[in-house]
Amino acid sequence: MSTTVIVLIVYLGILAALAIWSRRETHTLAGFYLAGKKLPYWVVAFSTNATGESGWLLLGLSGMGYAVGVQAYWVVVGEILGVAASWWIVARRLKKFGDETDAITVPDILVAKFADKSHLIRGIAVAIILVMVTAYVTAQMVATGKAFNSFLGMEYATGGIVGSIIIIGYTFVGGYKAVCYTDVVQGTLMLLGLIVVPAAAVIASGGWSEVESNLLLQDPSLLDMFAVSDGGKPAWIAIASFVAVGLPFIGVPQLLVRYMSAEDDGQIKKARIVSLAVLLVFTTGAVTAGVAGRALFPGLEDAETIFPVISNNLFPEVISGMLLVVVLSAIMSTVDSLLLLASSSVVRDTYQKIIGTTKDEETLSQYGKYVTVIIGVIAVVMGIQEPRVIFDFVLASWSGLGSAFGPVVVGVLYYRRITWEGVVSGMLGGFVASVAWLTWFKDDFHGLYEAIPGFIVGFILTYGVSWLTSKKAESM
β-partners of residue 262 are: 39
Q: Which residues contact 368 (CB under 8 A, 6 or more apart)?
A: 29, 32, 33, 175, 340, 343, 344, 346, 347, 348
Q: Cα–Cα–Cα angle for 211, 215, 219, nearest 5°? A: 170
pLDDT over 90 at 377, yes or no: no
pLDDT over 80 at 144, yes or no: no
Question: What is the reported pTM?
Answer: 0.87
Say what the pLDDT of residue 386 is.
Answer: 55
More confident residue, 432 or 321: 432
pLDDT over 70 at 25, yes or no: no
Q: Which residues contact 341 (CB under 8 A, 6 or more apart)?
A: 129, 133, 253, 254, 257
Average pLDDT, the chain: 84
Say what the pLDDT of residue 475 is.
Answer: 63
Say what the pLDDT of residue 160 is.
Answer: 73
Q: Which residue, 33, 128, 121, is CA-closest to 411?
A: 121
Tens digits of residue pLDDT in 149-197: 766 777 777 777 777 787 777 777 777 787 788 888 888 888 888 999 9
- The pLDDT of 256-272, averaged and rounded, is 93
Q: Where exactly are the structural domains of the chain?
A: 3-388
- The pLDDT of 407-417, averaged and rounded, is 94
Tens digits of residue pLDDT in 361-374: 788 888 888 888 88
What class, spelled out in words, does domain 3-388 have in CATH? mainly alpha
What percent of the chain shows pLDDT beyond 70? 91
More confident residue, 27 or 63: 63
CA distance 84 to 320: 33
Q: Cα–Cα–Cα angle for 237, 243, 245, nearest 5°? A: 110
CA distance 445 to 17: 50
Say what the pLDDT of residue 73 is.
Answer: 93
